[in-house]
Amino acid sequence: MKFALHVATATNNPKAELLVCAFQLYNDTFHIWTRSISPPGSYAVAAVYSKQHGYPIHVSLPLSAINLTDPHGYNITEVFDDVPVGQLKPAQNLTYVVNPSGIYLLRATVMKPAKTQAFSVDMYAAVRRPVDKRLR
């Protein structure tokens, strides 16, 4: 299997933040498009298999290969049927099947760490007694 990665960014519109990755598999072209969405750090991912006939293609690649690199990971959801795919970290593989002339559309929502509630403890509060002013 020949595997080549080409990355290009949109240069005529710097606000577009559109990333294009083209993968060559078995002499057929397979494209992955990613675009940032809200909340910040999240992405829409479209996998397009442009072959007009034949069999579906099975794809397995780490999220980091398509620049999804947040260390907290992503909650992945298939968009058309709103089906959860799972929670993946950048080093974990995303595995899916794309039909000929088909598209697989995903939403990768960045996962943020759970916020811990900060509090302070006065360890002397239980033993502190009111001061009797008459003793001074």
Domain boundaries along the sequence of the chain: 5-135
pLDDT value of position 12:
47
CATH homologous superfamily, domain 5-135: Golgi alpha-mannosidase II (2.60.40.1180)
CA distance 71 to 118: 23
pLDDT single digits (tens) 6-48: 444 444 445 444 454 545 444 456 788 888 888 898 999 988 8
Is a pLDDT exceeding 50 seen at residue 53?
yes
Tell me if 30 sits within 8 A of 49, measured CB to CB. yes
Pairing of β 18-25 and β 57-62: unpaired
